Amino acid sequence: MKNEDNKLIWESYEDTSVARMQGDEHNPPDMDDYPVDRSRQVDNAMNEHERYVRIAGMFSDNHSDQTIKDALHVIETLDSMDEDERARYFDGELGSPF
């Protein structure tokens, strides 16, 4: 995730926190004051963060250095393949690239 995405997520939390400090957590600052694009950027950044957290969770039970290195090798190999090659590999039509 890019630093700018982190900043957008933090700013969205700060907006809600300000409303809480003002005793009005059910009516946070009016998002109409923000451009639609900013709201979309915040949503996209939060969704991207959630995807990354889910992926990281796959390694929560086995997070040894070797497991992470092996996962990185697999991901880099799959990334170097085009979509057709990946589909053929997962369908069993292509031998193991590892």
pLDDT tens track for 40-64:
888 889 999 999 999 988 888 877 8
- Name the amino acid, one letter, at 55: I
Question: Backbone phi, then psi, for 22, in 5-degree steps?
Answer: -85, 5
Contact call for residues 38 and 12 (beta carbons, < 8 A): no
Residues 68 and 91 in one domain: yes
For residue 56, give Cα distances in angstroms to 10, 52, 62, 68, 71.
21, 6, 11, 10, 11
In residues, how long is the chain?
A: 98
Q: Which domain holds residue 31?
A: 1-57
Predicted TM-score (pTM) of the model is: 0.50
pLDDT in tens, 17-42: 555 555 555 665 565 655 667 788 88
Strand, coil or helix: what is 33? helix
Residues 78 and 53 in one domain: no
Residues 35 and 53 in one domain: yes
Residues 73 and 39 in one domain: no
Helix residue ranges per DSSP H, 1-98: 3-21, 36-57, 65-80, 83-90
Number of domains, the chain: 2
